[in-house]
Structure 1
Amino acid sequence: MGSPTAEESSVPATRRHRPLLLLVTEQLTSSVGRQVTALALPLLAIAHLRAGPLGASALLAMAYLPGVLLSPLIGVAVDRARLRRMLVSVAWLQLPAIGSVPLAAALDGLTWPHLFAAAAASGALSSAQSVAAQSCLPRVVPPERLLSANSSLTGARTVGLIGGPALGGLLISLVDPAPALLVECAAYLVGGALFLALPASLNHSAQQPGSGARSRVEALKEGLAVIRRETLLRRQALAAAGLNLGGGAGAGLFVLYADRELALPPWQLGAVYAAYAVGTGVGVLVAASVTRALGMARTIRWCAVGAGAALFLIPAASLGLPFPVLVLYQLLFGLLATVWSIAMTTGRQLVTPAHLLGRVNAFLQAVLTATVPVGAFVGGWLASRVGIVPVLVGAAAVALAGASSLWFPRDVLTGIERAAESSRGPAVA
């Protein structure tokens, strides 16, 4: 990797970039809070409402479904919104959505409709916050720093994914699951304050006065027209759908497969999951260096295909040495999928016009959100009929096929290459 350009050297280091520090801190706190809630909410349903498998699954679905259904409207709202005000509002609206659950539990008034409504409201608000934060980043970070900025945000979320379940398990072991939900309330309270400290310039809409679509329907059409016109965005959606369908099927069957087919003891299963966290952490650390060394286009292609191919290691574990094979799978998938995600997010931010970024982010987030539970459901249904191993092989094939779409035609990523070259200099692409 070459020395920094004069333009790069003139930009403050990431650790001294105040808006990015605010966003990273918010991602860390909210990620921890969401992971605590992800553990506490189903346990609360089991303890207070005697939830069975159907109830627990429905509760999970209610957390995802609103974001998928409302994503087009969320995208339009983000593109037209005063972003700082919107980020603060959606963060602080989480307080009554989540906080009402432990209050109702303390008063012995918790019901299924209340729990479903809280999960749906929180899911919709989380979706809006995610799209708004992705659209906010290019407005506070220069283009030449987007790659390292996305790495920092992914790293913060990864720390939350590792520390959140541990904190949630400790809290729930000490108190009832209901009070543990107050951790997420505290996280959103802090997050709203951090958003409030972002630059006031974010309260100016990216939509130029007198330009663009005038109605919501026209705005949706405008966003879809960009996705239809830009081959890169279509292929990104296809690759993400394939990886998430295959990955969702594999994830849904993973524990059952490891227990029944491979007879892994619990300590080995725990070590396998820890390997994924290690792989993800390494991916965060090396993403910027790898992308600069290979170029953004090559990084996106190779890492997507590598992540899809790594899924074949799951059924391969049934052939022998299951523990080391699954550890290798988690390390490779965590590393490659993380580098791919960071590079692709950066590329999308570079090639999408600022006033359309909310709609594009919302559409792709809907694809990512919807395909995981669909893959898990279809994979489970098929496994009950043909067996787990054949379904795992098919899931890996679907993931690899989706990732391979980024290779054909070969010029599909030229938009990213041109944008990266203009923002960083000739050495990038």
Structure 2
Amino acid sequence: MTLSNRLTTLGRVNRDSLFFHAGFRRLWAGDSASQLGTFVGMTAIPLLAAVTLAATPFEMGLLTAAETLGFLLIGLPAGVWVDRLRKRPLMLTADLVRAVLLLSIPFAWWAGVLTMAHVLIAVLLTGFATVLFDVSYQAYLPALVGRARLLEGNAKLQGVQSSAQIAGPSLAGVLVQFLGAASTVVVTGAGYLTSALCLWRIRTVEDRPSRTGHDRLLPQMLEGLRFVMTDRPLRAIVACTATSNLFGAAGQAVEVVFLTRTAGLAPAEVGVLLAVGGIGGILAALCAGPVIRRLGQARSIWLVPVLSWPGALLVPFAGPGWRLPLAGLGLAAAGFGAILYNIAQVSYRQAITPDRLLGRMNASVRFVVWGAMPLGGLLGGALGEGLGLTGALWAAMGGQLIGALWVICSPLRRMRDLPVAPETPAPAAQPGS
């Protein structure tokens, strides 16, 4: 092949990248702002509760539970609503609602009326809006880019999440140190406003969802649940993620209190440590395609957790001096495995599901795997009161590893790759969009 032909081929391959998809670029940009704001808030709000409002371990458990209780309460009907509506306007509305709710926290603080109850209510209602956004988001991606590009799209979006996981907690730690925790939450509200603006600028035409013969809520909810529970690999993935999320939320409930009170770290050090997990996530996002293709998608789903998730067991060793980078190394390894696992299993879920069921499939999965998190938050608060912060953290980190047994003992262990549904063409973008 001549040099000219090679350059031509390279140019054609580059133009096939989602970097050249205008709608995806805007979704990507909005997601970048939203994820940065989210991770700033995930550090600033617990610090606000633990340090400024002097929350007890049980109140910290309530705060963790409030973040994801919406998935347990409205997760299943949300899938039906998403399948009946266009996704982009629903996501835009959810972003605006989240921005208003979270901006109420710094305004209440500046007015001198902020209470723990206010924070809990704002976080709870923000979680309800997040349910609608997340279910719509995962159902919207196949419609925006097509099923053949799902692995690339999910890898790029997970890369954004991992980058935000580094920048967000680090930025939050510094801002909390100098501006205070309540004022730092402004960054989270601004991130959601920016995401809404980017979504508003997407010009790709989204087809109106078709209605089925029966529009009753309960039968449609059950149809989504049946689809998830009758696919054996998908059922194992859901059980694995739910178990890990249950104990992960238990750990999250006591983690910031442990790091500030037991390990004796300053807010800036807490931010840096929590950000380190994102380094592993970025590496996973960058190499996800080659690694998953090399290992096989099925094998990646069970082997990656076995090799990387035990790194989380180093977190209870956190403390000043050499113990801080040791805990950071464990978080980086666990972050690498979590993102690689997510890319593989989310791409599989999106690929095998018919378009008409995407919202309900995502909602059914989220109902189980995210619905476990508020229960985990309450569990973490109870463990913190009963076992102490260190004991609760050990129990939570060990419990996360148990989740991998679901996929290790499933048919996935005897498979290399997973079957996928036929390609559904993506809608064409308008010229100049």
TM score, norm. by length of structure 1: 0.80
Superposed CA offset, 1:224-252 (max 9, x none): 12122222221111110222234445555
1:28 equivalent to 2:16? Answer no
Corresponding residue of 1:427: none
Question: Structure 1 residues 385, 302: CA separation in 2 closer, same or farther (over 3 Å shift)?
Answer: same
Between the two proteins, the alignment pairs up a number of residues equal to 412
The residue aligned with 1:196 is: 200
1:76 to 72, 75, 80: 80
Partner of 2:138: 134
Cα pair distance change 1:37/1:334, threshold 3 Å: closer
Q: Which residue of 2 aligns with 1:103?
A: 107
Q: Deviations over 1:303-323 (max 9, x none)?
A: 133344445566899xxx966
Q: Among 176, 187, 190, which residue is 1:186 paired with? A: 190
Query: What are the ranges of 5 or more consecutive residues in structure 2 without an aligned counterpart?
Result: 1-8, 425-433
Could you say what the CA RMSD is over the residues aligned between the two structures, in angstroms? 3.9
Distance 2:253 2:286 in 1: 28
- Spell out, residue by residue over 1:86-123, the C-alpha distance to the aligned partner (whole angstroms, 9 max, x if none): 11111122333223333344444445554433222211
**Contact 1:67/1:128 (<8 A) preserved:** no
> Which residue identity lines up with residue 243 of structure 1 in the other structure?
S
The verdict on how the C-alpha distance between 1:401 and 1:17 changes in structure 2, with shifts beyond 3 A counting, is same
Amino acid at match of 1:155: G
Alignment of 1:255-266 (within 5 A): none
Verify the 8 A CA contact 1:34 1:184 in the aligned structure 2: yes
User: Is the Cα–Cα contact under 8 Å of residues 264 and 323 in structure 1 kept in the other structure?
Assistant: no
Aligned pairs for 1:240-255 within 5 A: 240-250=241-251
Aligned position for 1:166:
170
Q: Distance in 1 between matches of 2:106 and 2:200?
A: 27
Letter in 2 for 1:65: L
Q: 1:78 touches 1:132 (CA, 8 Å); kept in 2?
A: yes
CA contact (8 A) 1:231 1:412 kept: no
State the secondary structure of the residue aligned to 2:16: coil
**Whole-angstrom CA distance in 2 between matches of 1:44 and 1:314:** 22
User: 1:134: how far off?
Assistant: 1.0
Task: Select the residue among 42, 53, 59 that pairs with 1:38.
Answer: 42
* Contact map agreement 2:295 2:416 (CA 8 A) in 1: no
Give secondary structure in 2 for the equivalent of 1:419. Answer: coil
Match for residue 286 of structure 1?
287
Letter in 1 for 2:197: A
Q: Which runs of 5+ in 1 are unaligned?
A: 425-429
Give the structure, 1 or 2, with the largest relative contact order (CA under 8 Å, sep 6 or more): 2
> Could you tell me how far apart the structure 1 residues matched to 2:251 and 2:55 are?
25
Q: Which amino acid aligns with 1:190?
A: T
Q: What is the distance in 1 between the residues matched to 2:231 and 2:128?
A: 27
User: Structure 1's 94 and 257: CA in aligned 2 closer, same or farther, altered over 3 A?
Assistant: closer
Q: 1:40-97 deviations in whole A, cap 9, x for unaligned?
A: 4455567886655544443343232223211112111111111121111111223332
Deviation at 1:9, TM superposition (A): 4.5
Q: Distance in 1 between matches of 2:398 and 2:303?
A: 16
1:154 Cα deviation after fit = 0.9
Counterpart position of 2:348 = 347
Query: 2:430 matched to which residue of 1?
Result: none
1:156 aligns with 2:157: no
Is the Cα–Cα contact under 8 Å of residues 64 and 120 in structure 1 kept in the other structure? Answer: yes
CA distance in 2, matches of 1:40, 1:315: 21
Farther off after superposition, 72-81 or 392-401: 392-401
**Cα–Cα, structure 1 residues 336 and 110, in superposed 2: closer, same or farther, change >3 Å?**
closer
Q: Is the 8 A contact 2:311 2:334 kept in 1?
A: yes
Question: Does the residue aligned with 1:417 lie in a helix, a strand or coil?
Answer: coil
Find the aligned partners of 1:93 and 1:254 in 2 and give their Cα distance.
28
Equivalent residue for 1:298?
Answer: 299
1:413–1:93 Cα change, 3 Å: farther
- Asked whether the equivalents of residues 34 and 188 of structure 2 are also in contact (C-alpha less than 8 Å), the reply is yes
Residues 317-349 of structure 1: per-residue CA shift (max 9 Å, x gap) = 9xxx96676454323212112111111110110
Cα separation, partners in 2 of 1:398 and 1:49, compared to 1, 3 Å: closer
Q: 2:332 maps to what in 1?
A: 331
Identical columns (%): 28
Query: Is the alpha carbon distance of 1:88 and 1:387 closer, same or farther for their aligned partners in structure 2, counting shifts above 3 Å?
Result: closer
Distance 1:265 1:33 in 2: 23
Contact 1:232 1:412 in 2 (8 A): no
Answer yes or no: is the 8 Å Cα contact 1:350–1:416 preserved in 2.
no
